[in-house]
């Protein structure tokens, strides 16, 4: 049996494979394209394509696809075989540089937000040589960008690459000011922690809400949830352990650096975390991870739920985006070193992030906005919708000393003494892990914790890269023309701290008093829902920054706003229609049937003894009958709300009606149905309960 180092990356056309299969000059040219963004020559592309095809065929591939990430939030692929006819009636396996570089999928059915007319169906995919090709099944997958016939980006990769280039451009300007003439590029790196639920396929198939929407729309609270915290980091159940083992193997074959796995807080909830890698590759890998998670689950008779809130009353699932920036030589620009007070370069990059997060709170919030994530943000397992930064005691003290021009006394290292001689003593970290903060500094990186578990990480990192690039640009413009660099640098850091310190909060983000302080005293934004925040994408300051940084055109921004609001509306409408169908055809009939059974039981008792009060049965029948009427009324109100949606003149108006009316009607119907579940005999209830779903995997 092969060891992990032997099969790791075995399905990836990575640097090892290229070096072994490409002529030396071709390999050097390809590396220059990857490392420095040099123009790709067609002769190099032809050589790479031939080697890629030979390698893929040798590994069992028969087809290739330009694998891309349209604005659906998932990946897309169109498969073409390598075969070409030969004169003798047979076939040969061919793949050219032209086919590698460019594809032409039909773009007509992908979201465009008005970037193209219906009849303008042609779209283009363009090879991204910075992300390695890989084999999935019997298909060679080539990561690509996706654009319209008019040249507009119709995907998430293109703006991400643009944001990375913007950050690289501005960060290099800053490094040159500090005398670093050797760095060739600066890249952002990400390690996205992925949370998910596992339930049995048998129970999943019995829940229309899970099949159609990915979350339970009904479900009474079980006798036991996560109150005991006994699932968190608990012993992994054998069936789940077998799943995790297979998942790791499949991910490792694809070169995905799956590192950490454990049980999460809620029953049936788990987490997988990878090692950091370049943001573009991390984004590709996370999309693959979500796909492979679901495929491997099916092999084990399980279903992997990636929805942000599949179950009410227990923790939802997030995707913590651990973000940092480093040079091509590996220097982490967010590493404070032993003496952060004296590390001016670190302090400037730190201030750039603080300024970026404060200036563009709205962009960070809307970058994680979905109908699913609206259920999670602000709940006890997720950060609030208010964006703030946690820095910890040491960095907060450093910034205060700089702002006030006072001596920095330092933070004393605290040695942890556990009171047992055989246990080692060690120094406590100077920063805690504030799990309530949306944006926390954790040693040499920032952890952006607002992302939902099903989100592509591209959107959040596009906004983060762009906002930090803008801060660095402002700094570089001022410092490059300064007469006295040291004085100008100190003044700039000091001014940033003074202007933006209100975004720094080291306390409990779950506390209601913080939300009041954040909004009323500090003036921070609190966009609780997708309709609240998404229109702000088109605020003039945001359009100006994103277009000037070259990340989006104004037309592309308008399309994104339209698409995201449309996705929100369609998601909730599907949920509402599913609720109506389940309540009408399954829940109401089940309650009526049980009511009739109880009434029949009472009548039978009366027949035996006319003096029997049948108090239990009579009371239960009254409650169930009243609930049946209430459920019918709430179904009617929800149906009326769905009809009223047709009157909305545009998608923004539609989203507000959904936020203010439709979701309220859905909640009211759920309350009635969940109460009915607690009174209805289990054999009559048409779906697996929360107790079944959350504790069904053994």
Alpha carbon distance 698, 695 (integer Å): 7
Q: Whose structure tokens read 């996706």?
A: 146
What is the number of other CB atoms lying within 10 angstroms of the CB of residue 530?
27
Let me know how many helices (H) and strands (E) the chain has, helices first.
25, 20
User: Rounded to 10 degrees, what is the CA torsion of 138, 259, 261, 250?
Assistant: 10
**Alpha-carbon torsion 68, 275, 279, 38, what sign?**
negative
Q: Give the residue among 218, 446, 238 at the shortest CA–CA distance from 333.
A: 446
**Residues of the chain scoring pLDDT < 70:** 86, 91, 106-108, 112-122, 341, 378-381, 409-435
pTM above 0.85, yes or no: yes
Helix (H, G, I), strand (E, B) or coil at 686: coil
> Tell me, what's the pLDDT at 81?
93
Contact between 124 and 149 (Cβ < 8 Å): yes
Quick one: tokens of 532? 């609240």
Quick one: tokens of 465? 């890269």
With a CB cutoff of 8 Å and minimum separation 6, the contacts of 455 are 73, 319, 368, 370, 373
- 614 DSSP assignment: -
> Tell me, what's the pLDDT at 404?
87
Alpha carbon distance 364, 567 (integer Å): 18
> Tell me, what's the pLDDT at 229?
80
> Cα angle at 330 between 325 and 333, to 5 degrees?
35
Contact between 592 and 678 (Cβ < 8 Å): no
Label the pairing between strands 277-278 and 186-192.
Answer: antiparallel
Alpha carbon distance 669, 692 (integer Å): 22
Alpha carbon distance 85, 102 (integer Å): 22
Alpha carbon distance 465, 592 (integer Å): 56
Alpha carbon distance 48, 31 (integer Å): 12
Alpha carbon distance 70, 156 (integer Å): 6
Measured N-to-C along each axis, helices 279-299 and 157-177 cross at an angle, to the nearest 10 degrees, of: 140
Instruction: Write down all domains in the chain, each with its CATH number in brackets.
Output: 4-155 (3.10.20.70), 156-192+325-415+431-552 (no CATH), 194-213+230-317 (3.30.590.10), 567-694 (1.20.120.1560)
Quick one: tokens of 347? 């302090």
Contact between 352 and 468 (Cβ < 8 Å): yes
Burial code (b: 16+ CB inside 10 Å, e: under 16) for 112-125 equals bbebbeeeeeebbb
> Tell me, what's the pLDDT at 612?
73
> Cα angle at 269 between 265 and 271, to 5 degrees?
90
With a CB cutoff of 8 Å and minimum separation 6, the contacts of 305 are 196, 197, 198, 199, 210, 214, 215, 317
Alpha carbon distance 614, 524 (integer Å): 60
> Tell me, what's the pLDDT at 325?
97
- 156 DSSP assignment: S
């Amino acid at each position: 049996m092969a060891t992990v180092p032997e099969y790791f990356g075995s399905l990836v056309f990575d640097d090892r494979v290229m070096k072994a299969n490409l002529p030396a000059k071709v390999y050097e040219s390809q590396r220059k394209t990857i490392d420095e963004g040099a123009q790709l020559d067609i002769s190099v592309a032809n050589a790479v394509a031939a080697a890629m095809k030979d390698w893929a065929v040798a590994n069992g591939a028969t087809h290739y696809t330009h694998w891309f990430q349209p604005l659906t939030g998932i990946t897309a692929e169109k498969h073409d075989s390598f075969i070409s006819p030969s004169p003798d009636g047979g076939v040969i396996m061919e793949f050219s540089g032209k086919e590698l570089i460019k594809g032409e999928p039909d773009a007509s059915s992908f979201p465009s937000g008005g970037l193209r007319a219906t009849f303008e169906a042609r779209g283009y995919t363009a090879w991204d040589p910075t992300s390695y090709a890989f084999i999935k099944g019997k298909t060679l997958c080539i990561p690509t960008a996706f654009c319209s016939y008019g040249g507009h980006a119709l995907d998430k990769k293109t703006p991400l690459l643009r944001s990375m280039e913007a950050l690289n451009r501005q960060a290099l300007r800053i490094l040159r000011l500090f005398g670093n003439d050797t760095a060739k590029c600066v890249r952002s790196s990400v390690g996205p922690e992925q949370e998910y639920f596992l339930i049995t396929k048998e129970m999943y198939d019995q829940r229309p809400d899970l099949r159609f929407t990915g979350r339970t729309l009904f479900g009474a609270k079980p006798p036991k949830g996560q109150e005991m915290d006994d699932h968190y980091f608990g012993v992994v159940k054998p069936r789940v352990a077998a799943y995790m083992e297979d998942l790791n193997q499949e991910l490792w074959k694809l070169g995905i650096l799956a590192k950490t796995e454990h049980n999460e807080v809620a029953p049936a909830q788990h987490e997988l975390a990878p090692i950091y890698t370049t943001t573009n590759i991390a984004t590709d890998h996370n999309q693959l991870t979500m796909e492979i998670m679901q495929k491997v689950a099916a092999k084990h008779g399980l279903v992997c739920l990636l929805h942000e809130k599949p179950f009410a009353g227990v923790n939802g699932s997030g995707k913590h985006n651990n973000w940092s920036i480093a040079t091509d030589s590996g220097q982490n620009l967010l590493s404070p070193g032993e003496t952060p007070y004296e590390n001016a370069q670190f302090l400037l990059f730190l201030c750039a992030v603080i300024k970026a997060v404060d200036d563009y709170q709205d962009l960070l919030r809307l970058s994680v906005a979905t109908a699913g994530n609206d259920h999670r943000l602000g709940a006890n397992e997720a950060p609030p919708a208010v964006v703030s930064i946690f820095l910890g005691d040491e960095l907060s003290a450093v910034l205060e000393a700089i702002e006030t021009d006072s001596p920095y006394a330092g933070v004393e290292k605290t040695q942890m003494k556990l009171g047992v001689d055989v246990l080692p003593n060690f120094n406590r970290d100077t920063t805690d892990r504030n799990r309530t903060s949306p944006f926390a500094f954790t040693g040499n990186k920032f952890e952006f914790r607002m992302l939902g578990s099903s989100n592509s990480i591209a959107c959040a990192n596009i906004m983060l890269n762009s906002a930090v690039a803008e801060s660095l640009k402002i700094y570089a413009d001022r410092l490059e023309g300064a007469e006295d660099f040291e004085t100008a640098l100190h003044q700039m850091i000091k001014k940033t701290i003074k202007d933006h310190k209100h975004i720094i909060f080291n306390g409990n983000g779950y506390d209601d008093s913080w939300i009041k302080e954040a909004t009323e005293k500090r003036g921070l934004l609190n966009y609780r829902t997708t309709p609240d925040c998404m229109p702000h994408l088109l605020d003039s300051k945001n359009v100006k920054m994103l277009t000037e940084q070259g990340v989006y055109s104004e037309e592309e921004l308008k399309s994104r706003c339209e698409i995201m609001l449309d996705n929100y509306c369609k998601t909730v409408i599907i949920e509402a229609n599913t609720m109506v169908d389940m309540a009408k055809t399954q829940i109401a009939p089940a309650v009526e049937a049980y009511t009739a059974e109880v009434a029949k039981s009472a009548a039978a008792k009366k027949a035996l003894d006319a003096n029997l009060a049948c108090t239990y049965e009579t009371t239960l029948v009254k409650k169930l009958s009243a609930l049946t009427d209430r459920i019918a009324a709430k179904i009617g109100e929800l149906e009326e709300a769905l009809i009223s949606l047709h009157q909305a003149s545009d998608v923004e108006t539609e989203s507000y009606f959904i936020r203010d009316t439709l979701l309220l009607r859905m909640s009211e119907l759920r309350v009635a149905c969940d109460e009915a579940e607690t009174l209805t005999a289990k054999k009559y209830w048409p779906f697996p309960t929360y107790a079944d779903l959350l504790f069904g995997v053994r």
